[in-house]
Chains A and B, each alone.
Chain A
Amino acid sequence: MSMYDDLNSTVSRRRMLQRCSNGFGAMALASMLNQTAIASPDSLPVGAALKATHHAPKAKHVIFCYMSGGVSAIDSFDPKPLLNRDHGKPMPVKIERTMFNKNGLIMGSPFEFTPAGECGMPISNMFPHIAKVADELALVRSMTSPLSEHAQANFFMHTGFPVMGYPTAGAWAAYGLGTENQNLPGYIVLQSGSATAPHGGVSLYSNGFLPAQHQGSIVKADQAEAIRNIRPQEAISIQRRRLDFVKQFDEPFLKDSSDVQIEAAIQNYETAFRMQSAVPDLCDISGETKQTLEMYGVDSPDVEMSAYARQCLLARRLVERGVRFIELSCLTRKIGAGNAPNPWDQHSELEKGHRAMALQVDQPIGALIQDLRSRGLLDETLIVWAGEFGRTPFSQGSNGRDHNPYGFSIWMAGGGVKGGTIHGATDELGYYAIENKCSIYDMWATVLHQLGVNHEELTYRYGGRDFRLTDVHGNVIQEILDGSPA
């Protein structure tokens, strides 16, 4: 029995036996018929909602590097020389409503761009380490979102809906595909130092209406109590003795009712007991080499970089342990309007703020990609780097930028994406996506596709309809995938 059971939705064992004895065997038949000619699907661990992937997966794990607050695309991955040429001039096109309505003139980028890797992808000098792995990146420069406000955009980015209550991408992945490690949750959100949930709160990691075991479990990478209540406050032997004692009472109680949910609850204590050692084991990085720690920046004197590096390192360790979906959280540097939930939010002091934030994440993420590659894990791990929107080409105040959801950049790496690709384009000021526009639905459709899932086929029936991560939208961005024509 899996560690996480939804007592409502799991078909009871009795009922299963009943069905089999009646000779329906419907499930076996269904999975046989699922074997189509597209590509052979993979079988999935116990507890997965899907019986098998829809097609052969390219990736088994997702690492979601969430750049909360909104990274400026035109200062990071989408250079626009015209901005610098026309710096200080008025915008030649209509300006959409902005959050702060303090729209200034065109603002050139204070960052320089250099072609990186063999592909020559231009990357801002705020990301020297990520630039080193440019050939692994599949960049989408034409992302759009309908929302220009943090909380709603965060919900939208995570769940496909702009309000609380819906399952987040990580929960969908864990629900559909299950997890290979029965002692760790399938969807883990890492935090360290000052990192916290983006605006919208922990509901961004919610299972929504999916069974609760798929909600994001927050692991505090640098704290002794990495997961709430994971630390026994007494000797483990005492705890063990108590659990054994409790069993002597639980078993007759179970026998008396022969209720499957009680049986599951008894099992659950054993799982929790094992988690108490699995989690500290995960967080204990003393076995990592000095070289590894240095590469990630765990030993960096920069407190934020060091803390983010620890998340990246743990992300790799989670991948090694078979965890399905891992989300990383930026730490705060209070610059501009940036704060703990939205550290990239430079409504003023854009250059200073973005430099500080880039310093925090650049080396650790670069190291994560290299490390996964050298361990042969990059092929099966899809890294998604994204914020909830980009920033305007015109200034807010003297040196900041407001939110721009009309055209911004995200990238993916590993997990079967075509490294060194650039897909889509914004206009010459980087304001609107104009070529191969992509939506957040497309992004998740692509991620699910790489996981072997047809995004239209991963559904959950709730409140009168079948819900999906991609609502009723979404197209796989084929152009950034391996095997697509160059």
Chain B
Amino acid sequence: MRLLFIIITAFLITAFLCMLTAATLPCFAVDVLTNEQNDFFEARIRPVLVEQCYSCHNSTKQADASLELDHRPGLLEGGDGGKIVVPGKPLESRLLAILRHEIPGLKMPQGAAKLDKQVIADFEKWIEMGLPDPRDRPPTAEEIDKLTSWEVVLEKRKQWWSLQPVREVSPVSDVNNAWSPHLVDRFILDKLQEKQLVPNNPADANTLVRRLYFALVGLPPTAKESNHWVAELSRPHGYDALVEHLLNSPHFGERWARHWMDWIRYADSHGSEGDPSIENGWLYRDYLIRALNADIPYDQMVREHMAGDLLEPPRIDAVQGVNESLIATAHWRMVFHGFSPTDALDEKVRFIDDQINTFSKAFLGLTVSCARCHDHKFDAISQNDYYALFGIMSSCRPGRSAIETPEKMGLNRKVLHELKPRIRESISGVWLESVATLRDKLCRDDELWKKVDNKSVLFPWAMLEKDLSKGLSFADAWRNQSDVWEKSRTDREAVSRGQVLQRWNFARPDDLASWTRTGVGLYDNEPSTAGEFVVDISGDNALLGIYPAGIYSHRVSNKHPARLTSRDTKIDGEFDLWLRTIGSPLSSARFVVHDYPRKGVVFPTVDCKNQWQWQKLDMSYWSGDTIHVELSTAADAPLLVQNEPRSWFGVREVMIAPKGQSVPTDSSEHLDPWFEIAAQSPPHSREDAAGQFATAVEFAIQAWQKGSATDQQAILLDLCMKQDLLPSKLDELGDAKDLVSEYRRLEGEIPVPTRVPTLEETDSRTQALYVRGDHKKPGDEVSRGFLSAINASPYSTKQSGRLELAEDILRNDNPLTRRVIVNRLWHHLFGRGIVGTPDNFGRLGHLPSHPQLLDHLAARFQSQDGSLKEMIRYLVTSKTWQLSSRPSSAAIQADPDNNLLSHSHVKRLEAEAIRDSLLAVSGRLDSTLYGKPVSGDSNRRSVYLRVTRNALDPFLRAFDFPEPFSAVGRRDVTNVPAQSLTLMNDEHIASMATSWMTVLLADKATADDDRVRSMFIDALGRTANRDEIELARRYVESAKQTYAAIETQATELESQIQNRQSAIDQRLALGRAQILVESKVKPAIDDPICPPPIGRWDFESSAEDIVGSLHANLLKGATVNAGALIVDGKGYAVTEPLKQTLKEKTLEAWLQLDSFDQHGGGVMSVQSSTGGLFDAIVFAEKRDGQWIAGSNNFHRTQSFGGPTETEAVSRPVHIAIVYQLHGKVIGYRDGKPYGEPYQSNGPLEFKAGETIVSFGVRHLPAGGNRMLKGRILRAQLYDRALNPEQVIASAQSIAQYVSDSQILASLSETERKQVELDRSQVKEWKSRLEKLRPKNGHSSEIMAWSDLARAMFTFKEFIFVK
């Protein structure tokens, strides 16, 4: 019916149109197409229809909006919205408006980029031509499938420029052209000449030096360097020498590592709730710096990034003895991890997507991640390709590996191994002697068994004795014990026969074979046999333990890393995981769901214990999901790292059993050797039984000596040794003592390994494609492999395939890899890539401005073994790179965006370079290389700042530091007010200006003009001209006057404040005295004995400093209420920075504790702004219940040895700590000396502007056991050491302390109003004063020059490089 309708309609339309247009327009029946028309359709129209339209508008499967575009009648008929074309009438054809995206909501092709202008023009022409079209009938389903199949689409998409082979052609311009023979320049010149443009003049020497410094090392040249190199540049090869100099600078690596870190979304934490740290991730940053400085070939670096853990041989840094290749894999782990997801597979899919997204953009310039849910909309990437890569990544788990070389990690391992049998021989000899007395000892020495518990080897003996003492016959009494043992043995066997999903017995090599062992602690291929023992590396005992057969990480040393993981297991149903383990307390065991590495309520972990135990984990929550089992030492857990240098574990069995199945027990295995002897010839007396026990032990020793002990014998010996039935102390062990000492010495030489986050290879897996990206809808399985556009053959490796992936990225015929990297280099050097979208070489990326040049660079890069330095040298030695940035008027006209590079781009410095410049110019820069991440207030280069995903550095963020979640090859360069506000108002910037000027002004002899000159050189790398000097000088002059005037005003204001304040004080003192009289307390007029403090907080209604300006801010829920600062173990308060430097001092506080059961909470601290240095009143840190003068790492702390606090919960106490100038520290409680004063190596000098006072926290950062729980009623800080008399006076004042509100209430209405008025006046004056006067107390001269320095920091020339 429908078909008929269409035919009729089509016929009618055609007929109608023919009639209508016959006179003026050609009309086509299908059989009358001319060759020309046919060619036009086939060449220009049909491919577009097929590629862009058929999949949604066809006559067989899908006709969105009832529109069929796969045959002419369908096209002419139109769809639900009516006709879309009118033959011969482009203006009436809606199709063109749709293609031009002029109709809201109707932009075709849907979800895709607008078609090229040329293509739309072709359609316009086609319509004009009357739509010549040979497609007279709808194609069949097969025909459509064939046309729209991925293979066909792929072939088309493979034609995209970036997938074409790299081809070298010569530039057109003459090699002998006057400008430059450099190939880069000739390619540039070719394009310029097309537009009749000429290259600009070269930049001047100052500009070039500055430009080179920033480009290559990211720092400004110092004045000396600038002067030197500017002069050098005028000599032959001077420029080349500077390039060499900078390429060889260690700061080159820092600069370029930061670019690389952008490509790979470097971060030090995982983000999300909790934002856990990526422990030791910074070693990867240092790896980059080292590799770039050493100019490791790019191919090698890419290989290391993909599969550095699998490379044979790896690249070793011989000096450090570390495996460099391995460190590179840490980037795989810098993914965002959600917090305790209830759908762990979803989370896994997300983090693999993050990995694929990042590496494919970084190294291939492709957005592979777009193909997660469907074939890529524009590029030659199918959904299959995505899951081929996904399979590679899902064959790996988060891991953690030691970076030391096998030699370094295996130091002394062989010798120690060999030493062990000798130790065993020696000990067993002593034991065999001692066992002779065991029978008698047991019969005679009641103390041996009187206090034993049921885990003791002598428990049956104790029970036997008990029964005998009750009057049972020996035979009955013995039978009781042998029955107990029989039953326990039956129970054990029942458990071992119980139904389980899986069971692994690590005595059996076959069971171990399917597990992955990581770390030198588990390098041996076989499990340990029974009788394995471990030498104790410290203390009185010779041995740590004698073990049954199983797996042990500490056979040689407990510094050895170890992690043991099972294969993946799907758990359908409700199961428990059982593990039989032993280990040091921070070693852990867990099941890992879909490789999710964090822990949480539904991701539980159990810690090992120092004795054998069965541990159970309920896995029923995860029924239907896939898990694996993981045992790990403290530092080897992939994410839950505990930085404990020594840690170990052992495991005998693991099983997955139905939930609630009977509990396996450890009991009485050790009794087997004894009771088995007794079972053969039952004892008749105590002596018999004791004799059999001794015999069992003796047999066990003999067997152990020969290396043939059973599990039971090993456990028996372990217990005998630990329960003093056999000598265990070194002093009792004869020769063994020396051997153990030797063992300990050699073991001590083994280094503590450094671990980095890595990947762990597991079973290679074939990934099921997720239909529409939905992980709950697995589709067909996809073989692992690379992008089929480049290499379509699947991987067959038993490893994950990352090695193959690396090789495919680096294939000679992979046209992307080298183009992408040289373009990245070009982008960072020239300010804009040849391809403007460095992370996207696909259809939605920019086209290359100079495709031939790009190919030339890619080919050259490859032929020079991927040397990054060589390429950078090549680029910066081109004339193009050295052009002046001032455009010619012709260039502005012909090429306003400077795509053709007739001149240099002006570049705004990156956030890091701005910060580093400020530090460098102000003389604060600490140019130490490498190391742990630091916070933003450090003076280290910005590349070392910690990248905490949830708390990125605000300064860097303001200047477009990228959020680390995807490859960023081209940073945003924005212009937001936060940037101006930072440079205008950030106190840090102001203080850098002062630092700089303090140095410059130290030389009084320098004339002002010269000082200005050197400032220009320092900050801008150029000499100031006469006008500039004059302007600057005048500015400083006028600023000096201003600051001097301010000083006068401020002094005046200060005295006003003082006067008014004393008026208030007087009025209040009267009221206070009145109240004290009424309450019969003897008034003490404002104590003449006590000097004024520099800070006083009464916490009456706020945390303001009522004598100075050290106002405290309440944080994390600290409150001020009822005249006290209330802290609850989380809240605390921090003041504004001190305006004076503090050396000798007194800290004083009145406080009440919430409870005595708290440890290490700080009452009041003076500290550096980050808490690195501090002096504090601390409760119960070193000893329970005692007050101490806390300090960083106890540097200035000793115990006062004062009495344990017993009152501070029920009433407020007064605590003061006096720090005398020569280091003596005296504590006071309620005005009386507390314990004994001591001599410290203090006092430390706390610097003005960098010191704060805190309350409720021992030191910053706030957290952990540094927090106090209690109420701080009042606190005072003095800049001097009070004497005992003064402390007493101050302490007593609390008794006479009358609150402000009490006093106010006692005043008359008029008086009160006056006080309030005066106070608000004082407050206003104070705030005026604060605004008026700089906080740092510098002279008006320094202030004026610093003002100029700040101005220079805000010069655009400071942050833009020409």
Which residues of A approach B to under 8 Å, CB–CB? Answer: 3-8, 12, 14-15, 18, 29-30, 33-34, 36, 54, 96-102, 147-152, 162-165, 185, 194, 199-203, 206, 208, 211-213, 217, 227-235, 238-239, 241-243, 245-246, 248-250, 253-254, 256-259, 261-262, 264-266, 268-269, 271-273, 275-276, 303, 332, 334, 340-341, 454, 456-457, 461, 463-466, 472
Contact = CB atoms under 8 A, between A and B. Distances in A.
Contact of A229 (B886, B982, B1039, B1355): B982
Contacts of A18: 896
Contacts of A273: 980, 984
Contact of B342 (A33, A148, A203, A254): A148
Contact of A242 (B361, B379, B1028, B1350): B1350
Given A194-B1116, A230-B981, A239-B984, 4 more contacts: A100-B602, A238-B1042, A248-B1031, A265-B975
B980 A230 contact: no
A242 to B, nearest CB: 5
Contacts of A101: 601-602, 621
B635 to A, nearest CB: 27
Interface of B: 97, 102-105, 111, 271-273, 275, 336, 338-343, 350, 354, 357, 361, 366-367, 369-370, 376-379, 600-602, 621, 839-840, 842, 844-845, 885-887, 892, 896-897, 906, 908, 949-951, 954, 960, 963, 965-966, 970, 972-982, 984-987, 990, 1028, 1031, 1035, 1038-1039, 1042, 1046, 1116-1117, 1119, 1331-1332, 1334-1335, 1347, 1350-1351, 1354-1357, 1359-1360, 1362
B272 A249 contact: no
A266 B1356 contact: yes
Contact of A164 (B357, B367, B949): B949
A33 B101 CA distance: 10
Nearest to B1118: A194
Given A194-B1116, A271-B980, A165 B370 contact: no
A135 B950 CA distance: 40
B621 A97 contact: yes
B272 A466 contact: no
A101 to B, nearest CB: 5
Contacts of B844: 461, 464-465
B1305 to A, nearest CB: 18
A197 B887 CA distance: 46
A346 B111 CA distance: 43
A403 to B, nearest CB: 9
Given A253-B1357, A269-B984, A152 B977 contact: no
Contact of A7 (B338, B974, B990): B974
Contacts of A248: 1031
Name the residue among B273, B1039, B1046 with the largest chain A CB count within 10 angstroms: B273
A245 B972 contact: no
A464 B370 contact: yes
Top 10 A-B pairs ranked by shortest CB distance?
A464-B367, A201-B950, A165-B965, A272-B980, A212-B974, A151-B272, A199-B273, A97-B342, A151-B273, A33-B102
A99 B343 CA distance: 10
Contact of B1354 (A4, A232, A246, A276): A246
A5 B974 contact: yes
Contacts of A30: 102
18 contacts: A14-B892, A18-B896, A97-B343, A97-B621, A200-B950, A208-B963, A228-B981, A233-B987, A241-B1042, A242-B1347, A242-B1354, A249-B1355, A249-B1356, A265-B908, A265-B980, A271-B980, A303-B1119, A463-B839
A463 B361 contact: yes
Contacts of B341: 147-149, 152
Contacts of A185: 977
A261 to B, nearest CB: 7
A229 B974 contact: no
B107 to A, nearest CB: 9
B981 A275 contact: yes
Contacts of A206: 963
Contacts of B273: 149-151, 199-200, 341
A233 B975 contact: no
B809 to A, nearest CB: 18
B954 A99 contact: no
Given A242-B1354, A258-B887, A99 B965 contact: no
A268 B275 CA distance: 34
A200 B951 CA distance: 10
Given A4-B977, A457-B105, A250 B1356 contact: yes
A152 B342 contact: no
A268 B975 contact: yes
Nearest to B620: A101
A268 B959 CA distance: 13
B342 A149 contact: yes
Contact of A4 (B378, B839, B975, B1360): B975
A97 B625 CA distance: 12
Contacts of B1331: 234-235
A239 B600 CA distance: 52
A151 B981 contact: no
A235 B1053 CA distance: 15
Given A99-B340, A334-B1117, A275 B977 contact: yes
A7 B973 contact: yes
B104 A34 contact: yes
Name the residue among A147, A229, A276 with the largest chain B CB count within 10 angstroms: A229
A36 B104 contact: yes
Nearest to B618: A101
A194 B1131 CA distance: 10
A258 B340 contact: no
A148 B344 CA distance: 12
Nearest to B897: A15
A238 B336 CA distance: 46
Contact of A340 (B839, B886, B892, B1117): B1117
Contacts of A332: 1117
A100 B601 contact: yes
B127 to A, nearest CB: 18
Given A8-B973, A257-B885, A165 B906 contact: no
A152 B1354 contact: no
Contacts of A232: 984-985
B367 A465 contact: yes
Given A199-B339, A259-B906, A466 B1355 contact: no
A165 B272 CA distance: 12
B963 A165 contact: yes
A231 B1119 CA distance: 25
A258 B353 CA distance: 43
Contacts of B897: 12, 14-15
A211 B972 contact: yes
Given A99-B340, A246-B1351, A465 B370 contact: yes
B1356 A149 contact: no
Contact of B339 (A152, A227, A275, A465): A152
A215 B906 CA distance: 26
Contacts of A253: 1355-1357, 1360
A269 B357 CA distance: 38
Contacts of A472: 111
Contact of B966 (A15, A165, A234, A243): A165
Nearest to B368: A464
A34 B107 CA distance: 12
Contacts of A162: 338, 350
Contacts of B970: 8
B906 A257 contact: yes
B889 to A, nearest CB: 10
B950 A227 contact: no
A194 to B, nearest CB: 5
A227 to B, nearest CB: 7
Contact of A150 (B339, B1038, B1334): B339
Contacts of B103: 33, 36
A251 to B, nearest CB: 9
A201 B275 contact: yes
A229 B840 contact: no
